[in-house]
Amino acid sequence: MAPRARKTYNLGTMSFQGKIEASCPSCEEAFETPVWSFVHGEGDPALREQIKARECNLLLCPRCGAAFMPETAWVYYEPGAEILAFVFPESWSGDEARWREKMEADVAQMREALGARLPVDLEPEVYFGQEGLGALLESEDWRVDERDVMAHYAKELGLQVFKASPRWARASGAPAELPYQGRGQPTREALIAGLKALVAANDRLTAWSDFLAKLEKDRGAGVPPAAAAR
């Protein structure tokens, strides 16, 4: 039976560890070791970097020195990016339906225990192995770098910035922060005007120029959903 870490779900700013009994796949040495069971990406940037390197919970056998991943699941949470992810060992993917069902039960328990601290519309993602989550975090960081350039130009142009839902942005292939003209809440027309001003100032910001083209083409498209209040 695969070892399990003691689960502790907490949506503060801290990451938490549990202990498991791991077995080295090379020499079969069994040993007790702490592993991360809950990773808060904003509260622990070093752990976030480990995930991007696909090395979170990487263990070294005390007997033979072999490096391996333990057969244990863990949770990743990054509220600013609206990411809640359950990461299962890659070897468990053959029984995906079972683990998705287990994840849904765990999320229900989390919602019951945490109430409003866990946004009701935040749907968890499931990964088998760290590759998918690592790639997602790399993509998020690339988006942040582009966003910083956009924010500089928006300030120079006297534009406001609307913060859209990061989940909506990922699903739509759009930026999560959008410049607009005027004050108060943006309208579709204010977004188009702000995007046009931004693209005229820097046509290399292709994520925003592409979204402008989509917004102008789809006359039924309105203002995207806003990011959750924090």
pLDDT value at residue 143: 87
- What does the pLDDT look like over 175-218, one tens digit per residue? 999 999 999 999 999 999 999 999 999 999 999 999 999 999 99
Q: What is the mean pLDDT of residues 119-134?
A: 90
Give the whole-angstrom CA distance, residue 101 versus residue 84: 16
C-alpha to C-alpha distance for 6 and 139, rounded to whole angstroms:
31
What is the structure's pLDDT at 11? 55
CA contacts within 13 A on the Cβ side of 104? 6
Of 99, 129, 159, the domain-final residue: 129
Are 57 and 92 part of one and the same domain?
Answer: yes
DSSP letter at 114?
A: H
- Among 97, 78, 88, 91, which Cα is nearest to 11's? 78
Phi-psi region of 122 (alpha: psi -120 to 50; beta: other; left: phi over 0): beta
What confidence score (pLDDT) does residue 4 get? Answer: 43
β-strand pairing of 59-60 with 67-68:
antiparallel
103 and 29 part of one domain:
yes
Residue 197 near residue 168, CB atoms below 8 Å: no
Instruction: Please report, as a single letter, which amino acid is at residue 19.
Output: K
Counting the structural domains of the chain, the total is 2
Say what the pLDDT of residue 108 is: 86
pLDDT of residue 177: 96
pLDDT over 50 (residue 1): no
Query: Which residues lie across from 84 on neighbouring strands?
Result: 77
pLDDT of 2 higher than 60: no
pLDDT grade, residue 118 (50/70/90)? confident
CA distance readout (Å), 124 to 79, 161, 164: 12, 27, 19
DSSP letter for each residue of 46-84: HHHHHHHTT-TT-EE-TTT--EE--S--EEEEEGGGTEE
Residue 156: inside a domain: yes
185 occurs within a structural domain? yes
pLDDT at residue 223, as a whole number: 94
Residues 121 and 157 in one domain: no
Instruction: Give the domain range for residue 152.
Output: 143-217
The amino acid at 219 = R
Kindly state the tokens that stand for 98.
């079972």
Quickly state the pLDDT bin for 134 (edges 50, 70, 90). very high
The reply to whether 199 falls in a domain is yes
Residue 8 has pLDDT above 50, yes or no: no
Query: Are 41 and 124 contained in the same domain?
Result: yes
The pLDDT tens digits for 144-179 are: 889 999 999 999 999 999 999 999 999 999 999 999
* Mean pLDDT, rounded, of the chain: 90
What is the distance between the terminal CA atoms of the chain, rounded to a whole angstrom? 40
Which residue, 1, 64, 71, is CA-closest to 33? 71
Whether residues 21 and 75 share a domain: the answer is: yes
* Residue 82 resides in a domain: yes
Q: What per-residue confidence (pLDDT) applies to 40?
A: 94
**pLDDT tens-digit series, residues 76-117:** 999 889 999 999 999 999 999 999 999 998 888 887 776 667
Q: What token pair was written down for 222? A: 């309105």
C-alpha angle 227/38/165, rounded to 5°? Answer: 10
Together in a domain, 124 and 56:
yes
Q: Does the global pTM surpass 0.75?
A: yes
What is the Cα–Cα distance from 196 to 201, expressed in whole angstroms?
A: 9
User: In this predicted structure, what is the pLDDT of residue 228?
Assistant: 80
